[in-house]
Each structure stands twice: as C-alpha cells, then as structure tokens.
Structure 1
Amino acid sequence: MKNPFKKEDHTGLIVGIAVGITAGIGLGWLFLTDKGAQYRRQITRKIKEGISDSAAGLIDKKTIIPKKVAKVATDAVIKD
C-alpha cells in the first residue's frame, strides 16, 4: 500500500516541461522571424561545411586522393 503522506518527486516532469517550452520558443523564433531565417541559413551552411570537411577527411584517409581534391568534390556534391 502506498503511503499517502509521502511526497512524489515531479522534478523530471518539471524539467521536461521547461525544456519543451524553451525548445518551442527557440524554434518559433527561428522559423517566424527574419533574424531567425538568417540564423537558419548560417546554421545550414555550417552543417554542410562540416559534413563536406568530414567526408573529405574520410576520403583522404581511406584512398590516395588528397584532402584538397576530395574537398572540391564533396563541395560540388553538397551544394548551397
């Protein structure tokens, strides 16, 4: 039988609600404002650049193709 006088811990629920509200506000700002659209473009560029660098590094490591040449090829594949 449960103790009716023992307090239940709702910390996880409160943290989850706070994270959800924060994420919702952040996504709303990114998608509903002009400044957010600029940040989305910057984030997209950085992600594509990171993927291209990672792919070029992997190609350089696994083949005889130099990283500079592989970078040109991966940039052509991952267009802006």
Structure 2
Amino acid sequence: MKNPFEKEDNSSLIIGMLIGSLAAGAATYLFMTKRGATIRGEVSKQLNTLLKKIKGGESATENVEDHSKDYLHKKHKAPKTDREDLLKHHILAE
C-alpha cells in the first residue's frame, strides 16, 4: 500500500510546464505581433543567405584554392637556405 504522507517529486513536471509555456509565449509573439513578423523576416533572410553559402560553397572553395596557390607560389620563389637569402640581400659577400 502506498504511503499517503510521502511526497512525490514533481520537479520534472514543473520544469516541463515552464519550458512549454516559454515556447508558447515565444511562438505567440513571433506569429501574432507586427514586431514578431519583422523579426521572423530578418531571421528568414539571414538563414537563406547562410544556406546559400553552405550549399554554394564554390566561392569559399575557390578562395581557399587561390590562397593555397599564392602560398605555394611564394614558397617556391623563397631561397632554400639562409646563406642564399643573405647573398640575395647583399649582407654576405662571397
């Protein structure tokens, strides 16, 4: 038989109700007010531009490719030893 004087733990129920009421309040604000509609429009625009960047990806890939080509090109022209570098800048005489 269940003890009638034992308290039940309802903390998860209370937390769930608080989260649900906050979500309902946010949804009501976003869908029922003019300010919420402008916020939804701004968020939608930002998400669309982000998705285009993610899906397109070519511009970011091309940028990385160009950067790597520039880096390798600069590396290729660099002197191979410190001595060659010093001779190039006329610091060390042969």
Which structure carries more relative contact order (alpha carbon 8 Å, separation 6+)? 1
Show the counterpart of 1:36: 36
TM-score normalised by length of structure 2: 0.56
Unmatched segments (≥5 aa) in structure 2? 62-94
Unmatched segments (≥5 aa) in structure 1? 58-66, 71-80
Following TM superposition, the consecutive aligned residue runs of length 4 or more in structure 1 with deviations greater than 3 angstroms are 1-4
Aligned CA distance change for structure 1 residues 47 and 3 (closer, same or farther; 3 Å): same
2:59 is aligned, of 60, 64, 68, to 68
Query: Identity of paired residues, percent?
Result: 33
Residue deviations 1:24-55 (CA, integer Å, cap 9, x gap): 11111111111100000011111111211111
Show the counterpart of 1:22: 22
| Superposed displacement of residue 4, structure 1 | 3.2
Please provide the CA RMSD for this pair. Answer: 2.0
